[in-house]
Amino acid sequence: MPPISRSRAVRERRDEVARRVLEAVHRLVADGTPYTELPVQRIAEAAGVPRSTFYLHFPDKSRLLIALAEQGGQGMFASAVAWWRSDHSTGPEGVSEAIARMIAEYRANRWVLLAVSELSAYDPDVAAYYQARLDRFTDLTRARLEEERRAGAVGHGLDSPTTAALLTWMVERTISMHCRDDDTGGDEQVARSLGRAIWLTVYGDSPRGSRGRSGL
């Protein structure tokens, strides 16, 4: 087999094993079993791969969880990014709609994101991953706030770095705590209330009467 074809075959094999492992975890937690209670042997058996093969792809369950979070958390992060990069002249309704999408994405991947939040309290690798993801969102938020401040769309006293950090943690904590159970009855109200809180924090003392600037 030519070198390029052999390399491709190895890569495809690795991708296939990783896919089977990730799908196996999704099946195993579907019955309500917490991720932290799943032993590696059970995951490997469900994926139909030897335990040794599992460790070739994922050195430990922390790395596996990070891979799952990367796969499952993209939609939630994308919804937030889309709002911060959009036209903010639509008022609180626009941010509430973005929060509603974030809540829906969180619920779709609830067990993964809750496990990340839990393990980040004591697992250094998961904590570093989680903090890096939050830092990326904070940086995006800070950049937009600085643009808005230079354009005169927000109050002159708004401190961009501090406000960006506060908004990031407010959104993360509110959604993660709200989505700890399966009851979706309060999702709409949480989205409206959180959206309004974010809007007022950013534009509440705007010299333009709480109107955001159109785009970046």
Domains, the chain, with CATH or none:
3-58 (1.10.10.60), 70-203 (1.10.357.10)
Helices (H), the chain: 3-29, 40-47, 51-57, 61-72, 74-84, 92-108, 110-119, 124-150, 160-178, 187-203
Alpha carbon distance 6, 121 (integer Å): 42
- Dig out the tokens for 58 from the structure: 């994922």
Rounded CA gap, 121 and 17, in Å?
29
Q: What is the pLDDT of residues 136-171, one digit of tens each?
A: 999 999 999 999 988 888 988 899 999 999 999 999
pLDDT at 165: 96
The average pLDDT across 184-211 equals 86
Which residue in 124, 144, 114 sits closest to 33, CA to CA? Answer: 114
β-bridge partners, 214: 87
The contacts of residue 47 (CB under 8 Å, 6+ apart) are 17, 20, 21, 23, 24, 54
Is it the case that residue 42 has pLDDT exceeding 80?
yes
- Do the Cβ atoms of 215 and 89 come closer than 8 Å? no
pLDDT tens string 59-116: 998 998 898 888 777 777 787 788 888 877 778 888 999 999 999 989 888 888 888 8
Model confidence at 18: pLDDT above 90: no
